Amino acid sequence: MYAELDPARLPHHIAIIMDGNGRWAKRRHLPRVAGHRAGVEAVRATTETAARLGIPALTLYAFSEENWKKRPRTEVAFLMGLLRHYLKQEVPLLNENNIRLSYIGRERELPAEVQECMAWAREATARNSGMKLTLALNYSARSELVDAVNGLMRELADNGNVPHVTEQDIARHLYTHYLPELDFVIRTSGEMRLSNFLLWQVAYAEIYVTATLWPDFRGLHLLQAISEFQKRERRYGGLPEPAPAPEPVAPERAHASAASPAEALSPTGK
The 10s digit of each residue's pLDDT in 50-100 is 999 999 999 999 999 988 778 888 889 999 999 999 999 999 999 999 999
- DSSP E strand boundaries for the chain: 13-17, 57-64, 100-104, 132-139, 184-187, 206-209
Q: Which domains does the chain have, with CATH numbers?
A: 10-241 (3.40.1180.10)
Q: Indicate the SS3 state at residue 208.
A: strand
User: What are the residue numbers of the active site?
Assistant: 19, 67
What average pLDDT does the structure give for the chain? 89
Q: Are 44 and 219 in contact (CB under 8 A)?
A: no
Closest C-alpha among 135, 15, 160 to residue 64: 135
- Predicted TM-score of the model (pTM): 0.85
Q: What are phi and psi of 18, to 5 degrees?
A: -85, 100
Burial group, residue 143, by CB count within 10 angstroms (0-12, 13-18, 19+): middle
- Cβ count within 10 A of residue 181: 13
**Would you state the pLDDT for residue 241?**
60
Do residues 154 and 139 touch, judged by C-beta distance below 8 A?
no
User: C-alpha angle 17/234/228, rounded to 5°?
Assistant: 55
Question: For the chain, first and last CA: distance in Å?
Answer: 48
Which of 139, 85, 135 has its CA nearest to residue 109? 139
Q: Using DSSP, how many helices (H) and how many strands (E) does the chain show?
A: 10, 6
pLDDT at 254 over 50: no
Exposure b/e, 4-38, CB count within 10 A at least 16 = b? eeeeeebbebbbbbbbbbbbbbeeeeeebbbbbbb
98-107, 214-223, 231-240: lowest mean pLDDT where?
Answer: 231-240
**160-171: average pLDDT:** 84
pLDDT for 20-42, tens place per residue?
A: 999 999 999 999 999 999 999 99
> What pLDDT sits at residue 250?
57
Q: Which letter, b or e, does each residue of 90-121 get, where b requires 16 or more Cβ atoms within 10 Å of its Cβ?
A: bbeebbebebbbbbbbeeeebeeebeebbeeb
**What are the start-end ranges of the H helices in 160-218?**
167-172
